[in-house]
Amino acid sequence: MLQGWIQIGLTLVLIVAIAPIFGGYIARVFLGQKTILDSVLNPFERLLFNLSGVKPETQMTGWQYARAVLYSSLAMSILVFSLIMFQGALPFNPTALSAPTWDTALHTTISFITNTDQQHYSGETTLSYASQTLGLGFMFFTSAATGLAVGIAFIRGLTGRSLGNFYVDLTKSITRILLPISIIGTIAFIAAGVPETLAGPVVVPTLEDPNISQAIALGPVAHFEFIKQLGENGGGFYAINSAHPFENPSGFSNLLQTLAMVAIPTALIHTYGIIANNRKQAWLLFGMVFILYVAFIIVTGIGEYQGNPLVNSLLGSQSPNLEGKEVRFGWAQSALFAVTTTGTMTGAVNSLHDSFMPNGGFITLSNLFLQIIWGGQGTGTAYLFAYSILAVFVTGLMVGRTPEFLGRKIEKNEVVLTSFLILLIHPIVILIPAAIALAFPDQLAGISNPGFHGISQVVYEYASAAANNGSGFEGLADSQPAATGLWWNLSTCVSLLGGRFIPITALLLLADGMSRKQPVAMTTGTLRTDTVLFTSVTAGVILVMGSLTFFPVLALGPIAEAFLIARGG
């Protein structure tokens, strides 16, 4: 037990140490300050902008920025959908895979363009190397860079700056942050034993019977794997994702993956502190989220270490819950990875979330509902400040002060957008389709576990899609070429699109409105947002809003399941 907690503790120390350093680098990139890559990349970027007709000095409004996000996403979606549908006629297809069904291709395209990477297929038996690398790998960079660009634009707007130019921010996100770090990470993964080859599967005899052969899938995995984690993408090259020994062969690679997942979302809070010239507030918000993150890890870890009491009674002793887990990682690294991947909206898995104790199910679902621990690529940080704006408004009402955030008044438009963003859109695209699926459990849902756990399975699928996470409880017939597979592919597309582009548009409009407000001089009556008290209020608002919205679902799912297990049922 002690060894597992020590491993978790050391990982947390590394996260705290890396975040402010990386946050400072990101701030320098988007503030236009000098970085080590300027001499190499500046000429390339100028050439790229000249060829594409982009004018870097052109500043966009909120609507213009949002339209640029939508237009570029649509163009990339058409390109990747075509690539998948015609993969049978394209090179880099050593196993001669034909195109998947149209609904699977559509779901896959929308899933990856929204930075969700929810997979209703098995990568090694469905998609060619070209589709995986040139299609999905391409969107690993562009969808992550889109989220990061939106997060930076939101921070600029909050601090009174113009939002910037989406195409410039997209380019810099890739060339200055995602690509150089991915190159270093890929080399580290190759050294750790992750394959990187265009060769086809290797056919070898089985250990049980040398006369029987098996095919071991290979592929260009290493570079695919690192950007999968760094960009909070999460889609696995293989069906079992980061539990596969070729994607995640050792404790060292598992540590790199965990750090890669949290690198950008933890750093962006510090980036905000630098751009806003208020590092105190950044550290307070970082500390708030970090405390919630650690608490969630502890709750999940205790549940997995204590194990299933029903199994323990049969064994006659206490044993960790190792069902659905890789023995390479054990209960501790599985719990840490699960909380991190659902907290950062990465969605990669090194264990089966469906097999976690109710503690873990409660926490992973809560992460998908709250979206701020640590949140999606760029958008998670924006959500955190949207909650802060809501907390300013609520606190102002209680103490009778005019609500202000960073010296700018919070008025009707800001309250409407934050309420719309936090209280309406996310629950709607989760709860309504989940209710429809649960109303037809045989025809639509295809639930493998009836009862409380089955409710969690269905709600998790839509929560994962709406939060742009992509992980799953599994146990659903979502990859079948029948009515259930068609339902899951098309219904989750609604949650994917609604959970991605509606909030992005609202965030950009909110930031645009804040950027146009005249700053108000600070007085003795000003509610300061860089205090422990206000940060605590923000944490309370986050938890209360999340509880009011989603607690009934949690009560019918993991909480009821926990009582059932405790009762011995």
Average the pLDDT over 343-350 and give the result.
Answer: 92
Given this model, what pLDDT does residue 394 score?
Answer: 81
Residues 6, 486: Cα–Cα separation, whole Å: 45
Write down the domain spans for the chain.
2-275
Average the pLDDT over 513-540 and give the result.
Answer: 80
Residues 113, 110: Cα–Cα separation, whole Å: 5
**Cβ atoms within 10 Å, residue 343:** 29
Both tokens of 431, joined, read: 């709860």
Given this model, what pLDDT does residue 304 score?
Answer: 93
Given this model, what pLDDT does residue 481 score?
Answer: 66
Both tokens of 188, joined, read: 């580290």
At residue 518 the predicted structure's pLDDT band, cuts being 50, 70 and 90, is: confident
Phi, psi (degrees; rounded to nearest 5) at 163? -70, -25
pTM for this model (two decimals): 0.93
Span 199-220, pLDDT tens digits: 989 988 888 888 888 888 899 9
Cβ atoms of residues 247 and 238 within 8 Å: yes
Residues 163, 156: Cα–Cα separation, whole Å: 6
At residue 508 the predicted structure's pLDDT band, cuts being 50, 70 and 90, is: very high
Residues 436, 314: Cα–Cα separation, whole Å: 39
**Cβ atoms within 10 Å, residue 427:** 16
202 forms beta bridges with 216
At residue 39 the predicted structure's pLDDT band, cuts being 50, 70 and 90, is: confident
Average the pLDDT over 90-98 and give the result.
Answer: 90
The secondary element (H helix, E strand) that includes residue 282 is: helix 279-306
Given this model, what pLDDT does residue 62 score?
Answer: 93
Helix (H, G, I), strand (E, B) or coil at 437: helix
Cβ atoms of residues 181 and 230 within 8 Å: yes
> CA angle, corner 546, sides to 543 and 547, nearest 5?
85
% of the chain with per-residue pLDDT over 90: 58
Q: Where are the alpha helices (DSSP H) in 400-451?
A: 412-419, 426-439
